[in-house]
Structure 1
Amino acid sequence: MSLRTLADIQALEAGGFNAAYPQRTPWDMIRSSAARAPDDVAIRFLNDAADPARDTILTYADLAASCMAAARGFRALGVVPGTSVAVLTQHTPQAQIALWGAQIVGHACPINPMLTPAHIAALLKAGNAAAIVITGVNAEIDYWTALVPALRAEGVTLPILDADADAPCPGSDGSLTDLIAANIDGADITPDGDEHALAAYYHTGGTTGAPKMVRHSRLNEAHVARSCALLHDLGPGDVVVNGFPLFHVAGAFVYGLSTLSAGGTLLVPGRLGMRNQTFVRSIWQQVERHGITIIGAVPTVLAGMKSVKINADISSLKYFLTGGSPLPTELAEASEKLTGKAVRNILGMTECAGAIAVEPVAAPRTPLSCGLRMPFSELAILGETDGEADPNKRLGPDETGIIALRGPNVSAGYSDAARNAGTFLSGGWLVSGDLGRVDDSGRLFVTGRKKDIIIRGAHNIDPQMIEDALLAHPMVETAAAVGMPDAYAGELPVAFVTLRTGDDAPDGAALVAFLKGRLEDPVALPKRIEVIDTMPLTPVGKIFKPTLRHQATGWAILSAAETAGLGPGDITIAPGETTIISAPSGQCEPLRAALAGMPVSFTVKERSAS
């Protein structure tokens, strides 16, 4: 059945969980698809987006056999229940095999390979890793050469296998290719435990500091995969572009396992994913060539596609799926006008395996909505007690509060239970940290990130309001609004934009003038709009606002310095949790006085003599 409304979800639930979710683990989903259609293509990997003859193709029979072979090999390396295989790779067929093979014999521990070696070493220990798989030396992206020696220097003695290498990999304990080939035959391994057993640790919490490790059960991952397949109406004929890394829940489950569970084909655009410019610049030809039906992309990538001229038959394409950040209405409308294809939004987080709400593809798009809750889950908008979300203060339709959820997609918590406070509450509730509302049709709307809200005096400003208005300008490609510290107001709104190429590019002042009269709340008018060449992004393409906040903080400090009689060349600023400001001898006290009242954690110190 096609799910269009909350009533459809409730009808599905009336039939019982077993009927709606016949496979409860990722491995059951993969082997079920392999049994149903062994010769269908599970994964098509583009080694060269310009040369389809070089594509790597894995059928479902290939995928299932390779996952089991990897599991046998991992077991021989000492991976048992309670231990993990750490997967530090680009999204490739071998990465998929390592991820699911690890779950057969133990659990997986996908890690962003761009983290610092010390950070990775700490994650390996926290994830109880027994073996490591790392993308080997290649011409496109080589972190092996620096990372492996650095991990050894950090005291990591575990076996390290190379995957997808194009050249010799110094320090390798063997290749994943050889391990799979050597173990393709043998007795099948039966996974220990049931659907509630540990499937994976996924790290979260950003790219600095000690990130939290989220405990995923097999059911968490399978529930999200099946739910997304239902709400996205996925089937064996679908070809889904998935350029997300597998250490990100969207790549692994929302777009990945969902497609595999439905018997569709994952099209992976090379090691670089959606940063593969050859692929993105030829996206419409790729649609025609491969019969692509669905493209998954964060809003920034979706915005970039608008500048690519449609020069091919894209009739196979049904819709775009996006998430990771709010979907501006202007972007959705412009994409739909250009292509004639629907755009649908997703809201998720690592703590619930990637999906809180999904816009059904069978229903019309509702501007600014993230869609409906997952089947068999519960979605609530909570009020606060002493600044914390309170499950006993559930708000009604269209009341704004903190988004919370519970259900089969919700993790049991972090590997360090001491970090659960404020996020995992009693009663099974997960607090998302987003502000939002649910209308009387069950549709979820995110109105802001609680920590992203700009507070000017006692007035809350939603940065998305500013961003949406800026994106209505024909020359603006991406936009991000943040709060700039201010001693009087607490914060003032400022914004950053990147522009499309073309004549008559506006400057910041012109964009401020453009926004006048366009914002529902006049106090949301940015005090400054900065045009920048590139927007800082996370590895999966989300706008990384901490970098922008640091820049805005720098502006505020420079303004305070001018009040103290100092010029830009007189001080240096080192951003961080505590901003370090160096000033000339004798000028520290006037600078401290000028900064008084500004909501910035700072230290002013005397500049060392040069």
Structure 2
Amino acid sequence: MIFRSLADIEALERTPCEQAIAARTTYGLIERAARLHGARDAFVYLPDGELDTAPQRITYAELLANVNRAANLFRSLGVGPDDSVAILAPNIPSTQYALWGAQVAGRACPINFMLQPEHVAGLLDAANAKVVVAFGEHAQLDVAGAVRRIPGIEQRQVLWVSAPGAPTPALSQRANEAVFEQALAAQPDSLQFDPRLSPERIASLFHTGGTTGAPKLVQHTHGNEAHTSWFAHMFYGFDENTVEINGFPLFHVAGAFVYGLAMLAIGATQVLPTVLGMRDAAFLRNYWKFCEREKVGALACVPTILAGLCNQPVDADIASVKVAYTGGSPLPTELADRFEKATGIPVRNILGMTECSGLVSIEPLHAPRVPGSAGLRMPYSEVKIREDGVVALRGPHVSPGYTDAARNAGMFEDGWLVSGDLGRIDAQGYLHVTGRAKDVIIRGSHNIDPQLVEDAFLAHPGVAMCAVVAEPDAHSGEVAMAFVTLKPGASIAGDALLAEVAPRVYERPAIPRRVVVIDTLPVTAIGKVYKPALRLRAIEIKLQELFASQADGREIVVTAKERGSAAVADVRIAGAEDPALAARLQAALGAIAVPVAFSFS
């Protein structure tokens, strides 16, 4: 079935959900695909970004056999239904085996390997991780070094993963280390135990909370993950002949489900671009040529990837590419228009959350793109706009909550998942996200929508990307500050850019106080613009400017950081301690509500 409208979703819903879904566990979906499409490629792994390097091709029959081997291995190491296998490795075939095999033996807990070792140690404890599957030594990606620095890692069973064609990982003399691929090969290719899987059983634990601060572990049931992964293709218009580039990490729901299990569920093929994914410069240089060679039909993106591809000349025959799907952050209409004009590839938008296995709504391929829309709700789900304007949802894809139930307050309420997104639903049932509740800039009592301001900047011919955040202000509380990156070859100062864009901003109070031109915007591991880092930078810029005018010529360095849910600033003043100067600087803050600590050196 193909979705073109809300009426199509409602028609499907006349069939009970249990009858409309092909399988209600992740393993059930993979097993079914292997049974129906065993000889088809599940993965095409690119060892590097060069076209003359032979890829590794993994069929569905091979995938299922290795998932079975991984499940047998983990069970032999004592992993049961309430235990976890932590996974710190890039999106390569072995990591896929570990992810899905862990969900059969127990629970998978994919972890961002760029987190600090102490942070990872806390996740391992919270997840009750009996086994750690980690990426071994590699010239381009030093995960192994970070893993070896995790406090207490020597007390855990570690299985080292190697990339295809790379050297076998080096082992220490400890008995609790082994090479994952070698241990896998020693296992039977069929399950040696009854996993007693059910839609209600916990399949995985995914951490969330950005790249800083204390993370939260979201529980996914098999039913949650199967629901989003099965019904997604009805929006996408994909089938077993679809080939998609999935350069997202598996510790993010985009890589694992939105663009991952959704493909495995229907027997489609994923191109996995090197251990660096979409951060591989050589792969990006040859991106369109790989699309031609592999007959790619779908691109998996976030807005920053779309912006980068706009600047990549189309130097190949890409007639096979039918759509570019994007999510992770709002899709600016100007960017979508620019990408479609540059490539001829239609863009469709997705809204997702970790707390609902990656999908809230999807724009159907076989319906026109609706500017500003995040698409139609998932089947058998409900989406509503609360009185405070925040989007809430419920359905079979919604998580039962965090492992720490105390964190559920404000997010899981009376069966509803509170998204934190502000939005509206139009007459055709399309969900429109108008901003994040915490991203809204409150100037006096006036709410400013940063996305509308960003759209004005993106309409400028020299701007590649823009992110607007709050700058603290003594008079208004907050005003807008814009951070922008420029297109290749463009050159314009922030003040001049502001003068050109200001007349296009939707209202005068929303015009940014200043524009900061930077080389790159801070992003998360999947390329989503990370606004918390920009909000801290805005505080630093404001306070640096404010204090420099009061510091009697002394050098001042302002460092802003998060403390809990608030921001604080450390201010280092060069020279001997001067309490009177510190008092004068404190007074200069006025009504700026940022706690400041002064030190002298």
Shorter-chain TM-score range = over 0.9
Q: Distance in 2 between matches of 1:5 and 1:468?
A: 27
SS of equivalent residue, structure 2 residue 438: helix
2:402 paired residue number: 414
2:339 paired residue number: 335
Change (3 A) 1:567 1:379: farther
Q: Distance in 1 between matches of 2:557 and 2:275?
A: 43
Change (3 A) 1:242 1:568: farther
**C-alpha root-mean-square deviation of aligned residues, in Å?**
1.5
- The amino acid across from 2:170 in the alignment is C
1:549 paired residue number: 535
Q: Does 1:285 align with 2:256?
A: no
User: Per-residue deviation at 1:571?
Assistant: 4.9
User: Per-residue deviation at 1:573?
Assistant: 3.6
Aligned positions of 1:208-607 closer than 5 A: 208-384=212-388, 401-426=389-414, 428-502=415-489, 505-562=491-548, 564-567=550-553, 569-577=555-563, 578-583=568-573, 585=578, 586-603=580-597, 605-607=598-600
Check the 8 A contact 2:540/2:558 in 1, yes or no. no
Check the 8 A contact 1:104/1:189 in 2, yes or no. no
Change (3 A) 1:187 1:592: closer
Check the 8 A contact 1:67/1:97 in 2, yes or no. yes
Q: Distance in 2 between matches of 1:253 and 1:467?
A: 29
Q: Distance in 2 between matches of 1:478 and 1:487?
A: 29
- The amino acid across from 1:89 in the alignment is A
Check the 8 A contact 2:296/2:321 in 1, yes or no. yes
User: Per-residue deviation at 1:324?
Assistant: 0.5
Q: Distance in 1 between matches of 2:488 and 2:432?
A: 33
Match for 2:159 among 158, 161, 165? Answer: 161
Q: Distance in 1 between matches of 2:261 and 2:589?
A: 51
Aligned residues between the structures = 587
- The amino acid across from 1:80 in the alignment is G
Change (3 A) 1:381 1:118: same
Q: Does 1:81 align with 2:100?
A: no
Q: Distance in 2 between matches of 1:568 and 1:310?
A: 52
1:392 paired residue number: none
User: Per-residue deviation at 1:19?
Assistant: 3.0
User: Per-residue deviation at 1:184?
Assistant: 3.1
Check the 8 A contact 2:480/2:511 in 1, yes or no. yes
Q: Distance in 1 between matches of 2:543 and 2:553?
A: 11
1:139 paired residue number: 139
Check the 8 A contact 2:544/2:558 in 1, yes or no. no
1:388 paired residue number: none
Q: Distance in 2 between matches of 1:402 and 1:50?
A: 46
User: Per-residue deviation at 1:564?
Assistant: 3.1
- After superposition, what is the alpha-carbon deviation per residue over 1:400-446, rounded to whole angstroms, capped at 9, x for unaligned? x00000001100000000110000001x1000001111112111111
Check the 8 A contact 1:34/1:61 in 2, yes or no. yes
Q: Distance in 1 between matches of 2:559 and 2:443?
A: 24
SS of equivalent residue, structure 1 residue 483: strand
2:8 paired residue number: 8
SS of equivalent residue, structure 1 residue 221: helix
Check the 8 A contact 1:454/1:492 in 2, yes or no. yes
SS of equivalent residue, structure 2 residue 365: coil
- The amino acid across from 2:455 in the alignment is D
- After superposition, what is the alpha-carbon deviation per residue over 1:131-187, rounded to whole angstroms, capped at 9, x for unaligned? 11001111111220x223312x43551110111253332437111111221003455
Change (3 A) 1:120 1:501: same
Check the 8 A contact 2:49/2:284 in 1, yes or no. no
User: Per-residue deviation at 1:455?
Assistant: 0.7
Q: Distance in 2 between matches of 1:2 and 1:52?
A: 37
Q: Distance in 1 between matches of 2:62 and 2:31?
A: 11
Q: Which runs of 5+ in 1 are unaligned?
A: 385-400
TM-score normalized by the length of structure 2: 0.95
User: Per-residue deviation at 1:14?
Assistant: 0.8
SS of equivalent residue, structure 1 residue 99: helix
Check the 8 A contact 1:117/1:154 in 2, yes or no. no
User: Per-residue deviation at 1:568?
Assistant: 6.9
Change (3 A) 1:186 1:574: closer
Task: State the percentage of identical aligned residues.
Answer: 45
SS of equivalent residue, structure 1 residue 451: coil
Check the 8 A contact 1:104/1:190 in 2, yes or no. no
Change (3 A) 1:116 1:316: same
Change (3 A) 1:527 1:158: same
Check the 8 A contact 1:161/1:175 in 2, yes or no. yes
Check the 8 A contact 1:105/1:192 in 2, yes or no. no
Check the 8 A contact 1:84/1:128 in 2, yes or no. yes
- The amino acid across from 1:487 in the alignment is A
- After superposition, what is the alpha-carbon deviation per residue over 1:514-538, rounded to whole angstroms, capped at 9, x for unaligned? 2122111111111111111111111
Q: Which runs of 5+ in 2 are unaligned?
A: none
- After superposition, what is the alpha-carbon deviation per residue over 1:252-276, rounded to whole angstroms, capped at 9, x for unaligned? 0000000010110011111111111
Check the 8 A contact 1:121/1:156 in 2, yes or no. no
Check the 8 A contact 2:537/2:560 in 1, yes or no. no
- After superposition, what is the alpha-carbon deviation per residue over 1:346-385, rounded to whole angstroms, capped at 9, x for unaligned? 011100111011111111000010000000000010014x
More relative contact order, 1 or 2 (CA 8 Å, 6+ apart):
2
Q: Distance in 1 between matches of 2:272 and 2:11?
A: 35
Check the 8 A contact 2:236/2:365 in 1, yes or no. yes
User: Per-residue deviation at 1:576?
Assistant: 3.7
